[in-house]
Structure 1
C-alpha cells in the first residue's frame, strides 16, 4: 500500500493487513513520545499533523539526548519557518550519526503517514531500543536477553517480540518479576485467564503501580503482532525495574553509557540464573510461549 501524503483516511483495524499495523504503530509511537513530552507540557494528538512545525520533534530529541538545540523558530506560522525547524531536526540526527533515508522535511510537514512512522521508529530504535545493553549484547537482542533472564525462574522463554507475547503470559510474568506481590500466583493466574485478560491485567498493573503508561492495548496483540510496537512498549518496562526497590541492580538493563562499569564488574546474568531460581521458585509446569 502506497503512502498517501495527506493521510486523511483513518486506518481501519483489519487484523493482519497494513491498515492494522499502521494503526497500532501510530498509537504506540504517539504514546511513547507523549511519555517524554509531558515533561514540557506538550502533547501529540495526531502524529501525522502535530509534528509538522518541528517543535515537538525538537523537544523530544532534546529530552532524549540532554542536548539543547540552537536557536529555532518557537512560533512558526509560515511554511518556511516550519521547514527550517524540521531541517534542524534532520541536521541534528545527521550529527548524531542517525541514518535517515528517503524522508525529508516536506514529508513531515505534509503529513506523509508511513514516512513519519519510519522517522519515529528510527528515533526509537536509536535512543530507546539501541541504548539497552546486557552482557555485551545491545539493542533488540539485549532486550530479549534481559527479558529471558527475568523470566527464567518461571521456566518461561521468549524468542521474539511478536507471537511470544500475544497471550499475555510473558507480560504477566514480568509483572511478577517486577513486584511479586502484585501477581503472587502468576502461573495459576495465567492458566485460568484468557489472553485478553492477561494482557489487560499486566498493562493496568504496570500503569497503576509504577506510573508507566501502556503503549499498547490488548487488542493490539491479537492477530498479526507488530514487532516494532511491542519492542517500543517493552522498553518502557525497563524504567520500572530501575525504580523497583526489591529488584537487584544486576536485573536492570545497562545503557551504553554504562559500558565501562559493565566491563569492570563483569556481571554475568547467566551465572545468576540459578540464584534467581532459588529466590523465586517456579510453581506448576513449564510454560511455552505462544507460537500461533
Structure 2
C-alpha cells in the first residue's frame, strides 16, 4: 500500500487548519485544471462538481494526453452516462501511466472532494513534471499566490527581497514558525 503525501499532509492538521488547507488545495487545483482547459475554452468554477458528469474531465484528459477519447457522451443525461465518461477518462490516464489508487468513477460522480483533489494531484504529478521550465514556474507562482495571498507574489526575484514572503511561506508550511510576519518592517530586509 502506497502512502500518498497528499493525504498524509491532511492528517497532521487540526480541524480549522484542515479546512483552510483544503480550500487552498481546491483553489490551486481549480487553477491548474483551468490552465489545462484553457485551449478548449472551458472554465470551471467548482472542481468538486464541475468534473462530476465527466464532460470536463474528458476534455482535460484529452488536452493533457493530446489524444481524443472515444466512448464519451457529450451531453450525459443520466448517472450511467456520467459514470461512462469518467470511466473512459480514468482508463485513458491509467494507460498513460497515471497512478489511480482507490478512486473510481462513482467517487467523482458523487463529488467526493478529497478524491477529486487526489485524482487531480495524480494528474499534476504525471503531466506537470514533464512541462517546460516556464510552465513549471507559472504553476509554482499560482501555488504561491494561493498559499500566501497576502504577499501578492508575482515573481521569484524582487517580491522576495524584503524577506516577508519567505516568512509567510515558512509560516504556511509550519504554522507558528513566523507568526508575526504581517507586522515585519519591509525596510529592514536584513532582519
- TM-score normalized by structure 1? 0.45
Q: Cα deviations across residues 144-189 of structure 1 (Å, max 9, x unaligned)?
A: 9xx9xxxxxxxxxxxxx99xx96969964x2x5xxxxxxxxx38x8
Instruction: Please report the RMSD computed on the Cα atoms of aligned residues, expressed in angstroms.
Output: 3.7
Alignment-derived partner of residue 190 in structure 1: 161
Structure 1, unmatched stretches of 5+, are 1-12, 135-142, 148-160, 177-185, 199-217, 227-285
Aligned residues, how many? 153
Cα distance in 1 for partners of 2:62, 2:79 equals 23
Report the alpha carbon displacement of residue 190 of structure 1 after superposing the two structures with TM: 2.8
Does residue 84 (structure 1) correspond to residue 84 (structure 2)? The answer is: yes
Q: Cα deviations across residues 27-66 of structure 1 (Å, max 9, x unaligned)?
A: 0110111122232221211111111111111111111121
Bigger RCO of structures 1 and 2 (CA < 8 A, at least 6 apart) = 1
Alignment-derived partner of residue 68 in structure 2: 68
Cα distance in 1 for partners of 2:114, 2:122 equals 12
Cα distance in 1 for partners of 2:36, 2:152 equals 28
Report the alpha carbon displacement of residue 90 of structure 1 after superposing the two structures with TM: 1.3
Aligned partners of 2:71 and 2:85 also within 8 Å: no
Distance of aligned partners of 1:171 and 1:86 in 2 relative to their CA distance in 1, 3 Å threshold: same
Aligned partners of 2:97 and 2:126 also within 8 Å: no
Cα distance in 2 for partners of 1:36, 1:133 equals 14
Larger radius of gyration between Structure 1 and Structure 2: 1
Aligned partners of 1:169 and 1:190 also within 8 Å: no
Alignment-derived partner of residue 178 in structure 2: none
Cα distance in 1 for partners of 2:119, 2:154 equals 27
Q: Cα deviations across residues 119-166 of structure 1 (Å, max 9, x unaligned)?
A: 0000011001x21588xxxxxxxx79xx9xxxxxxxxxxxxx99xx96
Moved over 4 A (4+): 165-171
Q: Cα deviations across residues 241-261 of structure 1 (Å, max 9, x unaligned)?
A: xxxxxxxxxxxxxxxxxxxxx
- TM-score normalized by structure 2? 0.66
Report the alpha carbon displacement of residue 223 of structure 1 after superposing the two structures with TM: 4.0
